Amino acid sequence: MTKDLSTWLDTLLDELQGIEVRRKSSRRIRVDVQPDALPALLELLRGRASYVHLSAISCVDWIEENEFELVYHVWSYEIGSLVSAHTRIARDPGVYISVYDIYTPAAFFERDIHEMFGVFFEGSPDMSKFILTEWDGPPPMRKDFDSEAWVNAHFDFQDYQPDWLKEIEAKGGGVAVRPDEQRFSRRDVDAS
């Protein structure tokens, strides 16, 4: 059974035009594919070669090429290999098609990528905020988002002043409370 399925995979990858296949090891295969052919590739991998488990969808922001790279990692329980399908979409407007109809787990990853990178997936069941519920800035995982600059622009800092320490020391120390100010001190116990 396992052998049959892997021959299925080889014929399948030969049949498809315009994809580049690279075997990285016995259980890792890298496929580079055009964005319009990726859903068809995933459908064939799932339907004909038993790649039923979508392990993850990763997004990489290649800002110099002005592109987002989407990587779909799919695993076959029967063949025992992991196919990573890489595709690149334009950074602007950053819209792509959902694969939720092929893999149910895609809903979480697409929602996450939408939130963190601003890529909109058409046809995904829920594109609302999930982790960054109260965030109204730009998508933070993009390379042009500078966390430090954002913090400096939106939050106030209080400079540390060594004088504070002197003031505290002048009052008789840090957090320690003087015995006569303690509500339940040993002194009361001894007095009674």
Partner 1 sequence: MRPENYEAQRQPPSHEYELNIGPNHPGIEGNYAFKLRLHGDRVLEGKADAGYLHRGFEKLMEGRLWIQNLAITPRICVPDPVPMEVSYCLAVEELCGLEIPERAQWLRVLQLELSRIAAHLFTFGGHAATTGMYSPMFWGIADRDLVLDLFEELTGGRVYHIYNIPGGVRRDAPDGFLDRVRSTLDYLDSRLPDYDNLLFTNQVFVHRAKGVGTMSREQALEWGVTGPNLRATGLEFDVRRDDPYLVYDDLDFDIPTEEAGDAWARTLVRRKELVQSIRIARQVIAALPSIAGPIRCPIPNPLAWNVPAGSVYTRVESSKGELAWYVVSNGGERPYRTHVRGPSQMHAVQVLEKLSVGCRLEDVAQTMFSLDACPPEVDR
Binding site for partner 1 (CB under 8 A): 27-28, 52-56, 58-61, 71, 73, 77, 80, 82, 84, 103-105, 107-109, 112, 116, 130-134, 140-141, 147
Chain Cα centroid distance, residue 74 = 17
Q: Among residues 35 and 105, whose Cβ is nearest to partner 1?
A: 105
Report, in Å, the least distance between residue 120 CB and partner 1.
19
Q: How far is the CB of 190 from partner 1 (least distance, A)?
A: 39
Least distance from partner 1 to the Cβ atom of residue 105, Å? 3
Helix (H, G, I), strand (E, B) or coil at 181: helix
Which of 26, 158 has the CB closer to partner 1? Answer: 26
Between 37 and 71, name the residue whose CB sits nearer to partner 1: 71
Report the C-alpha gap between 189 and 61 in whole angstroms: 68
Residues 141, 118: contact at Cβ < 8 Å?
no
As a whole number of angstroms, the distance between CA 23 and CA 83 comes to: 9
Q: State the minimum distance, in angstroms, from the CB of residue 38 to partner 1.
A: 17
Q: Which is nearer to partner 1, 53 or 185 (CB)?
A: 53
CB atoms within 10 A of CB 121: 23
Alpha carbons 35 and 32: distance in angstroms, whole number:
9
* Distance of closest approach, residue 14 Cβ to partner 1, in angstroms: 24
Buried-state track 127-160, b at ≥16 Cβ within 10 A, e below 16? beeeeeeeeeeebeebeebeeeeeeeeeeeeeee
- Taking the least distance from each CB to partner 1, the nearer of 145 and 185 is 145
